[in-house]
Structure 1
Amino acid sequence: MPSSRFTFVLVLLVCLCSFTLTWDRIPIDPVLRYCVQQASKTAASLPTTQPNLPRTILNGKTTWTYVGYKDWTSGFWPGTLWYLYEYTKDPRWKTKADSFSRELTPLAYQKAIDHDLGFQMYCSFGNGLRLTGDSAYKKILLATADTLATLFSPKVGTILSWPRPVPNMEWPQHNTIMDNMINLELLFWAAKNGGGKRLYDMAVSHATTTMKNHFRPDYTSYHVVVYDRDTGKKIKGVTHQGYADKSMWARGQSWAIYGYTMTYRETKDPRFLDFAQKVSDVYLQRLPKDLIPYWDFSDPTIPNAPKDASAAAVTASALLELSTLVKDKSKAALYRTKAEQMLETLSSANYQSRQVNDAFLVHSTGHKPNNSEVDASINYADYYYIEALIRLKRLQLGKPVLANL
């Protein structure tokens, strides 16, 4: 009997050790210090005049291309700076984050030129408000939410993405892209902070209408749905930046995973939690071995097709949060483990930029059908990568996934 008891305890300890390792696949601090080092190099080389927001380092190049505040990616560099400040507590990062965020201020008060205000302003001023409590940031965010709300169509039930002619969108019909799910977070925040219930209702309507029309029976998503602006009826689904209208464009699916996870967090409506799992599961089932997707899951040139590290970073960040929301412990463990494995791969020599350039990551793909930013370093890949790392560090410290460090 003593030997049997000893064997049982030994086996139990081995199992517990193995379980612990699956929760701590990455030594987070060295990876975050790597991000600090890379961002320091970028910050030291920025132009002294606008445009001065780093967006892309193209394949084969070593220097950033820069954009101005109106570019849809303009919030990712200041947002990254806020995460660097959160991690380091170094006031120099706070000063830089504040300065670059404030460059975007006109967006809050100008006529909306597209739906990307959430990306631009919540990643920048939203993180700034979270970390500093600055009332000036709150005022700007509330004004931005009102500006974004001007694009909402009550007849359709969604926010108009591109209020201008875009190829194959049948302008002036109403178009909505999957990316728009991320911008709902700004509306949810504003509804709780003085903007009123109308903003909450818009966000829920957008998420519900998108859930109904943007997905195929297998829960893969279209990039765009075009609606009749007068009747609200769906005209067609289009995969604008993907391989084909029937294909699963990787980053589009990652926006869905992130967006419906966030929508459940804000509404507590179980429909959205169930849906977040469905769109996550089909994505996970079709991933290649290293868990970094090809830019489109249906590209016939796979395995020679470009990868998209940005989609992996977005998904990893979303799955870390989703793992804390699902009630099924085995499902929660799956999502967290997959997220850690994705971050482990992204943190390897295959995907970190290291000596190649000053970004965090390589092998992201922006808009392959336009041959734009293919196999490049892109600012939103870096943003969601550091966000996911910060989220994982919080969890490893026993904090809520959205708590400040």
Structure 2
Amino acid sequence: MKIRILCCCLFFYSLTLLACHQKDRIYDPNKDIEYCVVQLKKTLQSLPIDTPNIPRSITNTRGNWNLINYKDWTSGFWAGILWYAYQASGDDSLKAAADRFSRELTPLSKESALDHDLGFQVFNSFGNGYRLTKDTSYKHIILATADTLATLFNGHVGTILSWPRAVPHMEWPKHNTIIDNMMNLELLFWASKNGGDKKLYDIAVSHAEKTMKNHFRSDYSAYHAVIYDPKTGGKIKGLTHQGYSDSSMWSRGQAWAIYGYTMCYRETGKQEFLDFAEKVTKVYIDRLPDDLVPYWDFDDPNIPKAPRDASAAAVAASALLELSSLVDDEEKAAHYYRKAVDMLASLSDNYQSGKANTAFLKHVTGHKPNNSEVDASINYADYYYLEALLRLKNSNRRY
């Protein structure tokens, strides 16, 4: 009996030590950055020369990528991933590949806007390329694309039209704006400060302010979409397109809000954007499961059997690393930084694709209501995962 009690005590003591070790663990992103470079090189070797040749997602057990062309809203993430990998490795072959896949997106700077995703497409590709190379031909494409995005701005409403076409439940031709659009404002901010029209800055600020006013519930959870009257600018209603319900908190949408308002504060210095970033962050963090990777929607009644969304965790981790560098309060900064590190550690420990396929992450949910890309690997999850890893590696903060 005494031996059994002793064994039990030793067992629970070992669990306590393990928990303490995990809590105090110093997470090193370098090995996971190296993992990402290895994985993308495998993907790169498998891609055809002719279009469609841009990897978007893996939804099958064979590990084959679904390929797209430049018009797809996710088309810029692959080139962006390659630019980040070049930044991490200095490998000139990755630089050449990043240039090639970026230039495939050039028509987006010349054609009319298909929707608001031009920031995802062009700034993630050419924007990262210009940041790393200062190639002036990239700059011209970025500036032209910013002007194209600005054509979707409705001055009566004060926001950019997200989908200039009929989309289910969006009541076209009424004006629709989705929370994802916050991510595309960075293109406008950058252009306004790098040779573009100064009105681009005003458009971005107006969009962020109107979204802040109309897109959030009293607890600071976000609607996926808001419908406006295009003539009066009045809000008609908030609803969802990709979330569980009109009243639920779609996890990736909330992560877009965290990232978007953090970026808006960085670009404008407006205190209200920083304050709001912290408010939308709190409701997200407070409702996370133990492993810090959210279910695809925080209000899905099938939790804990509902699918996860690793992309939301990657977006949030990257945003929180930046947020930690912008707040003055050291206690808050440490809190955001530690949460981001723990999110990345959880993704790296439990959500990497490994040998299953050549993506970085698995267990991503694209569009659950349409049963599209559920429990998949998707390029935007990989993009923000690698971005977050690089932000952590280059951070001067250690808590």
TM-score w.r.t. length of structure 2: 0.93
Shift of 1:239: 1.4
- For 1:204, the equivalent position in structure 2 comes to 205
Alignment of 1:1-400 (within 5 A): 25-348=26-349, 350-396=350-396
Structure 1 residues 260 and 344, CA gap change in structure 2 (3 angstroms):
same
For the aligned residue pairs, the C-alpha RMSD in angstroms reads 1.5
Please state how far the C-alpha of 1:60 moved relative to its aligned partner: 2.6
Checking the alignment, whether the CA contact within 8 Å between 1:291 and 1:312 is kept in structure 2 is yes
Aligned mates of 1:36, 1:169 — CA distance in 2: 40
SS in 2 for 1:236: strand
Q: What amino acid sits opposite 2:117 in the alignment?
A: D
Q: Is the CA contact 1:32–1:389 (under 8 Å) kept in the aligned structure 2?
A: yes
Residue type at the aligned position of 2:127: G
Q: d(CA) in 1 for partners of 2:290 and 2:146?
A: 40
Cα distance in 2 for partners of 1:162, 1:270 equals: 30
How many angstroms does 1:150 deviate by?
0.2
Alpha-carbon offset, residue 67 of structure 1 = 0.3
How far residue 22 of structure 1 moved from its aligned partner, in angstroms, is 7.5
Distance in structure 1 (CA, Å) of the matches to 2:329 and 2:221: 23
Percent identical: 66
Q: Secondary structure at the match of 1:195?
A: coil
- CA distance in 1 between counterparts of 2:226 and 2:168 reads 13
Alignment partner of 1:306: what SS?
coil
TM superposition shift of 1:61: 3.6
Given that residues 173 and 226 in structure 1 are in contact (C-alpha distance below 8 angstroms), is that contact kept between their aligned partners in structure 2? yes
Offset, 1:24 = 7.0
SS of the aligned residue for 1:49 comes to coil
SS, match of residue 326 in structure 2: coil
How many correspondences in the alignment? 379
1:329 deviates by 1.0
SS of the counterpart of 2:194?
helix
Q: Distance in 2 between matches of 1:175 and 1:322?
A: 28
- Give CA-to-partner distance per residue, 1:21-78, whole Å, 9 cap, x none: 9797322211111001100110010012100000000053411000000000000000
SS of residue paired to 1:235: strand
Which residue number in structure 2 is paired with residue 5 of structure 1? none
Distance 1:373 1:78 in 2: 21
